[in-house]
Structure 1
Amino acid sequence: MTDTLTTTTPLADDVRAALQACGVDLSVVGGDAQVASPITGEPLIGARLDTVADIDAAVGRAAEAFPAWRDTPAPLRGQLVKRWGELLTEHKEHLATLVTAEVGKTPSEARGEVQEMIDIADLAVGQSRQLFGKTMPSERPGHRLQEVWHPLGVVGVISAFNFPVAVYAWNTALALVCGDTVVWKPADAARLSAIAVDALLAKAVSEAGAPKGIHQLLLTDADGSRKLVEDPRVALVSATGSVRMGREVAPAVAARFGRTLLELGGNNGAIVAPSADLDLALRGVVFAAAGTAGQRCTTLRRLFVHSSVADQLTKRVVAAYESLAVGDPREDGVLVGPLVNQRSYEAQQAALAAAREQGGTVLAGGDRELADAHPDAYYVRPAVVSMPDQTAIVHEETFAPILYVMTYDDLGEAIALHNAVPQGLSSAIFTTDQGEAERFLSSAGSDCGIANVNIGTSGAEIGGAFGGEKETGGGRESGSDAWKAYMRPSTQTVNYSGQLPLAQGVTFI
């Protein structure tokens, strides 16, 4: 994949240096598909988009490389991922620079995202020696019954802008140790990060002597994504994005009997009980709701506060929001960077207008800032909105920093309100009452894939499986037994008895 510098501003110079440090060749002129920085709105580097023929060829290369990679012993596959992790560590600052430039994360958050890549590589290396099956007792004498896991095939990864590189690594590190090959379609807003990450993986592949075709990068648009989704050679499509996107991907893959791993909408909620440590709750709420300018899938968007502490906590949240430093994420002390583009800003403004119409009161934030200094960038102060109840707009996930605050009197009521939305990714309760905590974590409590006590909704660790229920899609990535999504189980029976007894006592001859 080739690309070219189209502007010589300092930000673009940083991007050029980071790309070159990661081994990307910028000498060949690329195309007109611009990547602009949400920090200033300026174009960074133009990239050549793949054609339909390019996409077909990329999937073909991955499919052709699969048999050789499938037959490579899993611990050797793990050594490739180990080397990739070492290169990611070596180039952590370069990759963080690209993430900040492309999606507007603060350097601290950008480094944290790259660290997630390093962490999942570490986990996957260990997993390469632990692709465990099972041995079950057979009812027939002289028989062995077992379950073995085999590589699945080509894995297509479609990632979103808000975590432009970490989610790819979650999928790819595991898919590679499981013996699969990978085709990646990154977010349009984050093509440069993808190019750098792919270059580092290519270096690891070369050094490890692995088949060259095991990873493929596609720089394409929505039509190109559709080609990847519909290709019968792609055994699994792992897609991160909106519920709308998931509604298109899931039936298209199902129509050809492929598999999907979906990470879709969040609309996450948290409950603050009367026993909560309010200092702890305040920090957890503000970081989860305002961090990354509200553009995480695990961002806190709904807050249910017990009526006995609602006024006190709400006032403290509003004060904290008003003190947040909003601006260029590269500047010291800035905690909230820009929205990714104008559409996100417009979506936020539309949601705030709807909230007002539905009886809500905007207590803080919501206004655009720094427009004179950066007319092509969209900085907003995170908004706190007091809602009389959970109205229609609260049921929708707006991918921008809006925190809806509501009150409750009974924990059962709060859990019911929390679970009433169609999304089911992450959830939290702040309480020092063990009974309340256990009730929230029970099957009668949170209906989300992630449930936390005394921490916010964001900040998942690599060791646990990540994903959610309902309209979130049901997928699981990262730790625990998420690796099984990238493999196929084979139930096997070995008869060493010399006889041919049938199961269930059936007689035939």
Structure 2
Amino acid sequence: MKLANHVYGQWVEGAGEGIALTDPVTGEVLVSVSSEGVDVARALEFARRTGGPALRASTYEARAAMLGAIAEVLTAKRAEYFDIALRNSGSTEADAAFDIDGAIFTLKSYVRAGKSLGGARHLKEGARVALAKTDVFQGQHFLMPLTGVAVFINAFNFPAWGLWEKAAPALLAGVPVFIKPATPTAWLTQRMVEDVVKAGILPQGALSIVCGSARDLLDHVGECDVVSFTGSADTAARMRTHPQVVANSVRINIEADSVNSAILGPDAQPGSAEFDLAVKEIVREMTIKAGQKCTAIRRILAPSGVSRALADAVAGKLAGCKVGNPRSEGVRVGPLVSRAQQAAAFEGLAKLREECETVFGGDPDFEPVDACASMSAFVQPTLLYCDKGLAARHVHDVEVFGPVATIVQYADTADAIAIARRGRGSLVASVYSGDTAFLGELVPAIADLHGRVMVVDAAVGANHTGHGNVMPTCLHGGPGRAGGGEELGGLRALAMYHRRCVVQGGPALLEALSRDAADAALLGN
């Protein structure tokens, strides 16, 4: 079966045999995708001219209701999506829930947030500015929805959440969405789009999808479009310098590589609540989705006197994790999504081993449960140990996108700060400490290079939302090598899909324009 593309208000099957999507456990070919023959320029223009005006004719509140209807459709089809995630991504039940339920939760969050904007169609920012000696001439800043299209080029690891965490704020803003999902796991994204289109929730042109090669997609983006990309830093660099993107100053949002850190404070000694919480979260981050998360823990910073005990504790927990076919009882860790990703993980792991010792994993004779090692895409969870600190190179530069993490010992707070910053920009760092002096020095010193800093102590305990769990009400993104982008953060995400302008004129005009506007201060919610 070949998955169809949804463009210019119709389903179009790409030409040729297409690219095969496979089961990463068995190697079975499931479906194929092709974008050959799709007129991308026409598809984008249809979205701009048909989908955009229809969306913007509605209010924020009405568009929030559309998101609610989408969430209901996805909830009703949840079991089918779990089956696709199992077959195409090798997802365990927990992995699938992380992606699919996370998508539904995010949509519902934007339903609630969107209602607060009421019957408005644009946003008013701040008070009027006097521009003359009397009130006859004034200025008012507005945020107006973009009249272009939101182009999403997504990663393979979150085919459900990766779509809807981007689409929810774009659609709420009144901007049509064009999705180019990562090819290896495009099936789930395509099925969700198909179900939403069939339900007739959105106007024609508001939701488009092309599966397979992106081909000449960026050749047709314009000055009112937004391009949002999740993937490698190398691909991101090419996108930023694409001639059409540069010529039209296209707004671009990037989420790229990230060597995220978990940091144990000096008080997180074995037996302490902070130590135990760190061990639990490290193991969870290494095993959920087989470590295939942009936010997963890659470096574990620990005081030199505690680092070996931490390594033993984490290794002990990993030894109890069953790795293999997600269809088998008790399996906690599934495969990577493809043999290509497996090969990339092995390549990165070999680099890390040049300056690290292996604490757990790395068994050349490793055999997954109920799966053939030579046909499948498994990587055994692997814990490494590095005593070189800042002198190491690969540990701070190489992100192995799989169940691999490295413990790095540090000497003091200044050393921990320097090592954390050596990642050159990360999506998230989590800190396990109740030491206020340590936290007061560390957190401000690393904050400018991290999109999110999560601090867990005994009082927080198990109530934290998770190192790698992106909450729709909080910022997702990171500076430097993490891409410099920003997503989510509640209604803050709508700023990406609006353009600020100031209208100068008489008070009657400004009053008329303001009647249809919600307060932009609500974007801080």
- With structure 2 as the length reference, what TM-score do the two structures score? 0.84
Residues 417 and 445, structure 2, Cα contact 8 Å, conserved in 1: no
The equivalent of 1:376 in structure 2 is: 375
Amino acid in the other structure paired with 2:394: I
* Structure 2 residue aligned with 1:64: 49
* Structure 2 residue matching 1:34: 3-state secondary structure: strand
Tell me the distance in 1 between the aligned counterparts of 2:494 and 2:445.
25
For structure 1, list consecutive stretches of 5 or more residues without a partner in the other structure: 5-24, 499-509
1:370 shift after superposition? 3.1
* Greater displacement, 345-354 / 168-177: 345-354
- The 5 A counterparts of 1:420-459 are 420-443=422-445, 445=447, 447-454=449-456, 457-459=467-469
Aligned residue number for residue 279 of structure 2: 282
Q: 1:468 corresponds to which residue?
A: 478
1:250 aligns with: 240
Distance 1:196 1:497, change over 3 A: closer
Displacement of 1:124 in angstroms is: 2.1
Which secondary structure does the structure 1 equivalent of 2:196 belong to?
Answer: helix
CA distance in 1, matches of 2:300, 2:446: 19
Aligned equivalents of 2:151 and 2:508: distance in 1? 44
Assess if the C-alpha contact under 8 Å between 2:2 and 2:32 holds in 1: no
- The match for 2:143 is 149
Confirm or deny: 8 A CA contact 2:260 2:423 kept in the other structure: no
Secondary structure class of the residue paired with 2:332: coil
Q: Please give the alpha-carbon distance, in whole angstroms, between the structure 2 residues aligned to 1:44 and 1:300.
A: 32
SS at match of 1:128: helix
User: What letter corresponds to residue 274 of structure 1 in structure 2?
Assistant: P
Give 2:35's match in structure 1, choosing from 50, 56, 68.
Answer: 50
Distance (whole Å) between structure 2 residues aligned to residue 331 and residue 439 of structure 1: 47
Paired AA for residue 142 in structure 2: V
State the shift of 1:422 in Å: 2.6
In the alignment, the residues of structure 2 paired with residue 496 and residue 32 of structure 1 have an alpha-carbon distance, to the nearest angstrom, of 59
Q: Hey, what's the Cα distance between the residues in 1 that align with 2:288 and 2:480?
A: 25
Larger mean CA deviation between 142-151 and 193-202 belongs to 142-151
> Is 1:229–1:249's contact at 8 Å kept on the other side of the alignment?
no
**Higher RCO (C-alpha under 8 Å, 6+ residues apart):** 2
Deviation, structure 1 residue 183: 0.7
* 1:133 equivalenced with 2:124 (yes/no): yes
Amino acid at match of 1:357: E
Shift in Å, 1:155 = 0.6
Alpha-carbon shift at residue 381 of structure 1 (Å): 1.4
CA distance in 1, matches of 2:342, 2:446: 37
Which digits, 9 at most, give the CA deviation of each residue in 1:210-262, with x for residues without a partner? 4211111101214x2x4246533771001110111111111222332111011
Distance in structure 2 (CA, Å) of the matches to 1:256 and 1:28: 29
Which of 90, 94, 106 is residue 108 of structure 1 equivalent to? Answer: 94
CA shift, 1:351, in A, is 2.7
The alignment's C-alpha RMSD in Å is: 2.7
The one-letter code of the counterpart of 2:84 is L
Residue 504 (structure 2) aligned to one of 493, 496, 501: 493
Residue 374 to residue 242, structure 1, CA distance change in 2 (3 Å)? same
The reply on whether 1:363 has 2:385 as its aligned counterpart is no
Structure 1 residue 83 and structure 2 residue 69: aligned?
A: yes
Structure 1 residue identity aligned to 2:162:
V
Shift of 1:50: 1.9
Give unmatched runs, 5+ long, in structure 2.
5-10, 269-273, 457-463, 510-525
Partner of 1:219: 211
CA distance in 1, matches of 2:32, 2:450: 40
Distance 1:52 1:436, change over 3 A: farther
The range that moved more, 293-302 or 55-64, is: 55-64
Question: Could you tell me which residue of structure 2 aligns to residue 124 of structure 1?
Answer: 110
Pair 342,215 (structure 1): closer, same or farther in 2 beyond 3 Å: same
CA distance in 2: counterparts of 1:469 and 1:264, whole angstroms: 10
Asked if the contact 1:418/1:446 (under 8 Å) is kept, the reply is: no
Corresponding residue pairs, total: 472
Show the counterpart of 2:394: 393
Q: Displacement, 1:2?
A: 5.2
Question: 1:177, CA displacement in angstroms?
Answer: 1.2
Aligned residue for 1:266, secondary structure, equals coil
Residue in 2 that maps onto 1:161: 156
Measured in 1, the distance between the counterparts of 2:44 and 2:410 equals 52
Alpha-carbon displacement from aligned partner over 1:290-329 (angstroms, at most 9, x marks no partner): 3211111011110111122212111111111222110112
Q: Distance in 2 between matches of 1:344 and 1:487?
A: 36
The structure-2 alpha-carbon separation of the partners of 1:2 and 1:72, relative to structure 1 and needing over 3 Å to count, comes to farther
| AA of the residue aligned to 1:370 | P
Per mean C-alpha deviation after superposition, the further-off stretch among 183-192 and 415-424 is 415-424
Q: Structure 1 pair 233/138, CA: closer, same or farther in 2 (3 Å)?
A: closer
Give yes or no for the alignment of 1:189 onto 2:146.
no
Moved more, 297-306 or 444-453: 444-453
Note if contact 1:40-1:374 (Cα within 8 Å) is conserved in structure 2: no
Residues 255-284 of structure 1: CA deviation (Å, up to 9, x unaligned): 321110111111111111121221111101
Give, as a single letter, the amino acid of the residue that structure 2 aligns with 1:64.
R
TM-score of the two chains, using structure 1 as the length reference: 0.86
Write the distance in 2 (CA, Å) between the matches of 1:396 and 1:115.
30
- Evaluate the alpha carbon distance shift between residue 249 and residue 78 of structure 1 in structure 2; reply closer, same or farther with a 3 A threshold: same
Q: CA deviation at 1:115?
A: 1.6
SS of 1:213 mapped into structure 2: coil
Query: What SS does the corresponding residue of 2:159 show, helix, strand or coil?
Result: coil
How far apart are residue 407 of structure 1 and its match? 0.9
Identity %: 26
